[in-house]
A and B are shown apart, each in its own frame.
Chain A
Amino acid sequence: AQSVTQLGSHVSVSEGALVLLRCNYSSSVPPYLFWYVQYPNQGLQLLLKYTSAATLVKGINGFEAEFKKSETSFHLTKPSAHMSDAAEYFCAVSGNTGNQFYFGTGTSLTVIP
């Protein structure tokens, strides 16, 4: 069985501040982990993915995430928030690529000017 838990349904940061969105996973098999961003009334855009290669994964738009097996975590970070980062972010887990995904409940990021 696989699942993810996103801590904090709402996160607010000031423009230029560090963004940290938390995700913890549970998986009975080696997990593949993903972060997606969703803008209002749009589909999902893949930010980055972990597929058992490097534990520090760099994605688009300056985001990165670190896979920590000991903590079963895959937190998303960005050093400096931009107004355009305001969106909904979803963490997801899959048993392997090509399989269905199980999503977290999402974290709404607000960037304060």
Chain B
Amino acid sequence: GAVVSQHPSRVICKSGTSVKIECRSLDFQATTMFWYRQFPKQSLMLMATSNEGSKATYEQGVEKDKFLINHASLTLSTLTVTSAHPEDSSFYICSLTSEAFFGQGTRLTVV
């Protein structure tokens, strides 16, 4: 069965609103989770490393105030896209601290 559950799978929102994406570890406690972004027909780019109980570590060029990451428990990390713009439209994927466990991804469309 699935080890990682990501929700929602698709979301459409209006410009200026915020969207929250959840990534849940179903089978074990995850002190670290990773968030990736994938533009159409491109590869996955690591956005940030989510650390349970502490601040996330963001990759260079990723706005931490725009992409808020919360990892308040060992089974849940959330990514909130704040004040969304059309250019934020993308496919967002989370992963656990293991090479085999990726979420199903979230297709965000900002209109």
Structural contact, A100 and B99, CB atoms closer than 8 A: no
Binds B, one of A22-30, A61-69, A71-79, A90-98: A90-98
For residue B44, which residues in chain A have a CB less than 8 angstroms away from its CB?
44, 90, 101, 103
For residue B104, which residues in chain A have a CB less than 8 angstroms away from its CB?
42-43
Residue among A41, A92, A100, A102 with the most chain B CB within 10 A?
A100
For residue A42, which residues in chain B have a CB less than 8 angstroms away from its CB?
104-105
For residue A106, which residues in chain B have a CB less than 8 angstroms away from its CB?
41-43
Whether A97 touches B98, Cβ cut-off 8 Å, given contacts A104-B43, A105-B42, is: yes
Grouping DSSP codes into helix (H, G, I), strand (E, B) and loop, the A interface class, with mixed when no group exceeds half, is strand
How many residue pairs bridge A and B at CB < 8 Å? Answer: 52
A-B contact sample (14 more), CB < 8 A, given A104-B43, A106-B42, A106-B43: A34-B99, A45-B102, A46-B99, A46-B100, A49-B99, A90-B44, A94-B99, A97-B98, A100-B49, A102-B46, A103-B44, A105-B42, A105-B43, A108-B41
List 30 interface pairs A-B (beta carbons < 8 Å), by A numbering: A32-B99, A34-B99, A41-B9, A41-B91, A41-B107, A42-B105, A43-B105, A44-B102, A45-B102, A46-B99, A46-B100, A49-B99, A49-B100, A90-B43, A97-B98, A98-B32, A98-B97, A100-B46, A100-B49, A101-B44, A101-B46, A101-B95, A102-B46, A103-B43, A103-B45, A104-B43, A105-B42, A106-B41, A106-B43, A108-B41
Interface residues of B (CB under 8 A from A): 6, 9-10, 32, 34, 41-46, 49, 91, 93, 95, 97-100, 102-105, 107
